[in-house]
Structure 1
Amino acid sequence: MAAGNCANLLEFLQLVGKLKNIKRTGWVLCHVEDPERIAGHMYRMGIMTFLLDDDKSFDKVRCLKLALVHDLAECIVGDITPCCGVAPEEKHRREDNAMQELAQLAGSCGTELYCLYKEYEEQKTPEAKLVKELDRFDMILQAFEYETVESRPHGLQEFFDSTAGKFSHPLITSLVAELNKQRSEFEKEYSVPK
């Protein structure tokens, strides 16, 4: 491997390393005391893919790869949400340019990284759709964790509202049902006078 290639790979790794420190914008805007970082979100999504049953209708390893790549561009462009005032087309353009830059730096695996990003964005494969469900589920799980830790029952309802009716995978719908049950129990406990 040429020295120039190693320099590019180090730059790639340093850029990706920024994800360990970039706070997720939605939580910052909701004044969460210690908001998660993008890398933490991607990590838990990756772990979630291990929980999926082996099923012939999708490739579990591809789901893992999609989970690890889906927010990679945010190491360059940041976590852009609808509240940021950036048009969806502009957000897509920025993220696409960032992924092209990352793909060039990543060397021989760059094409795969970029293709995984595009697959997730286009939402045309069973794997991309399933990982989108994992993304949504991780968001509401995280919201519930913040509600409990910060004693904010129902305080992050907007995240639950934005995902209502958007789950279809049997495991994820079961997890959502259990999460909603625990959230309801938490709200009842919190409202009981002490």
Structure 2
Amino acid sequence: MTGPALPSPERIAAVLRFLDETNRLKDTLRSGRTPEGRQESTAEHSWRLCLLVILFGDALEDVDLMRLIKICIVHDLGEAISGDVPAIDQRAGDDRAARERADLVTLCAPLPGDLRAEIVGLWDEYAEARTPEAVLAKGFDKIETMLTHSTGKNPDDFDYRFNLNYGLPATNRHPLLAAIRAQVDDRTRRLDRGWTGPGDR
């Protein structure tokens, strides 16, 4: 019994060159903090996002779990070039998405055409959020960020209240996301010493 054919040496070399470039994501820092107070990397965020998806995968019907995980792995790859922009600093019309997509295309340049098209296609799917997998990826992405904020050793002036409105359109698009969000919001309220009730949101 024979298995799939081995990729050519040229294809292996191209993939390795791409992986060399994506390794920069380990040094791309985000605003989130680890439990010890170190800034997390985008690679760490993407890893825990995928773990989050796997752990809730059995609660998802009519969803291609492998495709969802692929989208989660790919969604921030472009940040390896231009870095991350914290949500609190993002502004409408800042061309951030177009810049990140262009960076992704640059990053994917060493890849064979089929792999390059797949990765850019997954990023586009995430950006457009039209498929069930992309909708879930966007929602889980917001939840992972809020989870990090709720367990990290943050600066004394950290704005927990920002998280209570952060990503609501994305996390309201699926019942599972909303259920997880409710518990994460409860954590956030307990951390926000100035929060007094629903009217103060």
Paired position in structure 1 for 2:39:
35
Following superposition, the deviation at residue 92 of structure 1 comes to 2.6
Counterpart mapping for 1:78-97 below 5 A: 78-81=83-86, 83=89, 87-89=93-95, 91-97=96-102
- Contact 2:75-2:126 within 8 A present in 1 as well: yes
Aligned residues: 180
TM-score of the superposition, structure 1-length normalised?
0.77
Following superposition, the deviation at residue 163 of structure 1 comes to 2.6
SS of the equivalent of 1:36 reads strand
Matched, 1:178 2:180: no
Query: Aligned to 2:80, which of 75, 90, 100?
Result: 75
SS of the equivalent of 1:104 reads coil
- Unmatched 5+ residue regions in structure 2? 1-7, 194-201
Counterpart mapping for 1:1-194 below 5 A: 1-3=8-10, 5-24=11-30, 26-27=31-32, 33-50=37-54, 51-53=56-58, 55-81=60-86, 83=89, 87-89=93-95, 91-107=96-112, 108-146=114-152, 149-150=153-154, 152=156, 155-164=159-168, 166-168=170-172, 169-185=174-190
Greater helix share, 1 or 2?
1
Paired position in structure 2 for 1:191:
none
Work out the percentage of aligned pairs sharing the same amino acid: 24
Change (3 A) 1:166 1:92: closer
Alignment partners' CA distance in 2, 1:153 and 1:77: 27
Alignment partners' CA distance in 2, 1:154 and 1:76: 27
SS of the equivalent of 1:43 reads helix
Alignment partners' CA distance in 1, 2:60 and 2:91: 40
SS of the equivalent of 1:88 reads coil
Higher relative contact order (CA 8 A, sep 6+): 2
Following superposition, the deviation at residue 135 of structure 1 comes to 0.6
Alignment partners' CA distance in 2, 1:154 and 1:170: 29
Change (3 A) 1:9 1:132: same
State which drifts further: 136-145 or 80-89.
Answer: 80-89
Q: Name the Cα RMSD after superposition.
A: 2.9
Following superposition, the deviation at residue 22 of structure 1 comes to 1.1
* Letter matched to residue 45 of structure 1: L
Alignment partners' CA distance in 1, 2:158 and 2:102: 38
Alignment partners' CA distance in 1, 2:92 and 2:158: 28
